[in-house]
Amino acid sequence: MLEAGKDMLETEKCVVKAITGDQAAAEAMRQINPDVVAAYPITPQTEIVMTYSQFVANGLVDTEFIPVESEHSAMSACVGAAAAGARTMTATSANGLALMWEIVYIAASTRLPIVMPLVNRALSAPINIHCDHSDSMGARDSGWIQMYCENAQEVYESIIMAVRIAEHPDVLLPVMVCQDGFITSHAVEGVRIFEDRIVKDFIGSYKALFPLLDVEKPVTYGPLDLQDYYFEHKRQQSEAIKNAIRVIPEIAAEFEKISNKNYGFIEEYQMEDAEIAILALNSTCGTTKAVVDKLRGNGVKAGLLKLRFFRPFPAEKIISSLSKMKAVAILDRSESFSNCGGPVFNEVRSAFYESENTPLITNYIYGLGGRDINTFQIESVYNNLLEIVKQNKVKNLVNYLGVRG
Amino acid sequence: MANLKQLSQIPERLSGGHRLCAGCGASIALRQVLLGAGNSPVVIGSATGCLEVATTIYPYTAWKVPFIHNAFENSAATISGVETAYRALKKKGKIDKEIKFLAVGGDGGTYDIGLQSLSGVLERGHRMVYVCYDNEAYMNTGIQRSGATPRGASTTTAPAGEVRPGKMEFRKDLTAICAAHHIPYVAQANISYWNDLVTKAQKAFAAEGPAFLNILAPCPRGWRFPGEDTIEIGKLAVETGFWPLYEIENGALKVTYKPRNRKPVVDWLKAQGRYKHLFKPGNEAIIEAIQENVNKIWEKLEKGILI
């Protein structure tokens, strides 16, 4: 993060704009200026599509925009456009992601570097337009890279980085950039926006490897792949996501040169001498930081581990950060209905299975359907961690925070 | 009108050796459609279905032109993405060639599961041709009923049985649905009338916007007739009036082939095993209803009315 007394290297070329998380996403897209955007509006992503459509209408971008009739067609058209050789983007939320589900997998397996801002929203039923992570967590095994953003600034910067990660020849995977519906998507923040030229230079131009539009070298996309080859192709996909573990820090280092920000897989907040910690994603990290500050004032050695990437899953980074803790609470903003806790909890806990230093780990499922999470609740989690340390025992593996009954 | 000598000069885009059944109408339909593209480069997208699985079994492909299969219900949306990418890259000077775009689906991928995707494409006005090779059921998965399956036909999900005589409902009129999008060119064709079909394909590829071709593609396996009879069966569909050949060019409806003396629809039904049960005593009314339906369609067509 930004160090005190040290501003952005390109600071004089940045402007601070008062915009929402959705507008920050649209602003990043404007500067990326993709060849094709195919999207369908859905709350709370709508403002991204509306803002971008206005950019198109005002001639601020060269993009050909496809106002498709559904999210299924949005991702289908994106697959076609990306296979054709175009830099391609879309955006969605919740039920929209669910409707495009089939093609979400196809985009990843076809190794098409599509970038998709995802504004996290609860999946139906009951229908609900507010934030939780059931949409993106459901897509965790689809083969997409997943970035999670605390605020509008991170949304803006992550989308710019996502283009480079997706298009890296050793990766070639689609990336979804997640932010919390309404909490960040509709809240106005001051967002530092690069000069257009800086983004343009950072992302560079895109040249697809095997474009459909190269009629001189015809290729077939999407053939029937049976018992004799399918497995090898899936194995290659595993290698690609493994490569992302190496490539992401390289691109983060390049991004640091223009932003002076070091975006890793994780962000540690007051973790150096911490004894108890919370691991969380997206906007809840901001709330948790405030609680950490308060507890630190009281002499409690509390810390926060913010997970910025859930795919690829940065197991080593998480272990090295959390193994020094006495007790850790994993905050999940989705329920997996496994009766064994949320998805983030399960993966973190599993990562520790063979670790020599494993902290006591507990899980909190919170904030479903946009239920507010406040500092008192987060403080209660830290208090519970202190109790766990005291008793050297996790009484309840899975807890529900801020729910009746 | 297409000229056979000129057509013979056009390179073959779908090579032999693919694994479609002998006598399959789908590959004949596609080869005739591609003749209509002349010598222009073509990018093809196909829905999941017989044509796709039989022509692209990894690591082989029968396509000598760029080809993409995405999923079952989205060949229209997929090719709309390709066509849009083409416009975007052309605008930026990254491509200078003139390229044609073709999306293909069977009746399952077009009449039913892919109808929304197709409708979206037609409404948005992409410059591309959509071809439905209509073999009147989900043949790839084993002859299940579709919205294109005609009344009375026996399929594996609407089989003829003791109390049900096959499919109870008439087919939906997809060609009319597409025409209702008021696109530049819509036509119904049949593989047994190559000149009519290739001419329609030429018009479709030349259209300044979306074009839709609904092509009856007989299926020996699903319709239960010997593979060597495909062309004859196709002719019967037209000569009995069951499958009229017409086009709607910029809003103007024109019957492109009118059988001189329409044969009774029984001739068409009798030639196929899928209608066998209709000739058992007690099913006479169904045959009558099918004939009546054909008569009604032609009464309208002769007045220049589609629906």
Contact check, Cβ <8 Å, A68/B41: no
pLDDT of A6 over the 80 cut: no
Q: Is residue A149 predicted with pLDDT exceeding 60?
A: yes
pLDDT in tens, A106-134: 999 999 999 999 999 999 999 999 999 99
- Mean pLDDT lowest among A5-19, A298-312, B151-165, B273-287: A5-19
Which chain A residues have any C-beta within 8 angstroms of a chain B C-beta? 35-36, 38, 62-64, 66-70, 72-73, 76-86, 88, 102-103, 106, 212-215, 218-226, 229
A266-401: CATH number? 3.40.50.920
Domains in chain B: boundaries = 10-302
Instruction: Considering the domain delimited by A11-259, tell me its CATH architecture.
Output: 3-Layer(aba) Sandwich (3.40)
Rounded mean pLDDT, B57-73? 98
Check B85 against A35: CB less than 8 A apart.
yes
Hey, are the CB atoms on B88 and A66 less than 8 Å from each other?
Answer: no
Mean pLDDT across the stretch A72-88? 98
Q: State the nearest Cα–Cα gap between B264 and chain A, in angstroms.
A: 42
Provide the pLDDT confidence category of residue B276 given band limits of 50, 70 and 90.
very high
The secondary element (H helix, E strand) that includes residue B213 is strand B211-216
Q: What is the pLDDT of residues A315-332, one digit of tens each?
A: 999 999 999 999 999 999
Looking at beta carbons, which residues of chain A come within 8 Å of B109?
A: none
Residue B2: pLDDT band (50, 70, 90) is: confident
pLDDT band for position B272 (50/70/90)? very high
Region A130-151: mean pLDDT is: 98
- Three-state secondary structure call for residue B144: strand
Query: Per-residue pLDDT tens for B14-27?
Result: 999 999 999 999 99
What confidence tens digit (pLDDT) does each residue in A206-257 have? 999 999 999 999 999 999 999 999 999 999 999 999 999 999 999 999 999 9
Residues ≥6 apart with Cβ < 8 Å to B304? B253
**Would you say residue B106 has pLDDT above 60?**
yes
What's the N-to-C CA distance of chain A in angstroms? Answer: 39
Q: Does domain B10-302 have CATH number 3.40.50.970?
A: yes
ipTM greater than 0.90: yes
Among chain A residues, CA nearest to B101: A213
Query: Does the pLDDT at position B151 exceed 70?
Result: yes
**Confidence category of residue A10, pLDDT binned at 50, 70, 90:** low
A213/B68 Cβ within 8 A: no
Residues of chain A with CATH 3.40.50.920: 266-401
Give chain B positions within 8 Å (CB) of A68.
77, 80, 120, 124
Q: Once rounded to an integer, what is the mean pLDDT over residues A77-92?
A: 98
Backbone angles phi, psi at B289, to 5 degrees: -65, -40
Residue A157 clears pLDDT 70, i.e. is over it: yes
* B300/B179 Cα distance (integer angstroms): 15
Write out chain B residues lying below 8 Å of A219, CB-based: 66-67
A326 token code pair: 């006495």
- C-alpha gyration radius of chain A: 21
User: What is the tens place of the pLDDT at every residue in A24-41?
Assistant: 999 999 999 999 999 999
| A15 has a pLDDT exceeding 90 | yes
Do A224 and B124 lie within an 8 Å CB cutoff? no
Place of tokens 């396996």: B221
pLDDT cut 70: percent of chain A above it: 97
Q: What confidence category does residue A1 fall into, taking pLDDT thresholds of 50, 70 and 90?
A: very low
Instruction: Round to whole Å and give the CA distance between A84 and A211.
Output: 5
pTM: predicted TM-score of the whole model, two decimal places: 0.97
Does the beta-carbon distance from B41 to A70 stay under 8 Å?
no
A2 pLDDT above the threshold of 60: no
How many angstroms separate the CA of residue B240 from the nearest CA in chain A? 38
pLDDT, tens digit, 9 for 90 and up, residues B231-267: 999 999 999 999 999 999 999 999 999 999 999 999 9
| Residue B137 predicted with pLDDT over 90 | yes
Strand A360-366's sheet: what is its strand order?
A266-269, A302-307, A276-280, A327-332, A360-366, A398-401
| pLDDT(A5) > 50 | no
- Using alpha carbons, list the distances in angstroms from residue A46 to A70, A129, A176, A208: 13, 12, 16, 29
- Pairing status of strand A36-38 against strand A88-89: parallel
Q: For the residues of B33-58, what is the DSSP string, one character each?
A: HHHTTTTS-EEEEE-SSHHHHHH-BT
For chain A, residues classed under CATH 3.40.50.970 are 11-259
The chain-wide mean pLDDT, for chain B, equals 97
Per-residue pLDDT averaged across A185-198, rounded? 97
* Average pLDDT for B111-138: 98
How many A-B residue pairs are in contact by the CB < 8 A criterion? 165
Q: Is the dihedral of CA A307, A311, A317, A321 positive or negative?
A: positive
Note whether A10 and A258 are within 8 A (CB).
yes
Look over chain A and give the mean of its residue pLDDT values, rounded to a whole number. Answer: 96
The residue among A70, A68, A69 whose CA lies nearest residue A81 is A68
Question: CA nearest A116: which of A64, A74, A152, A67?
Answer: A74
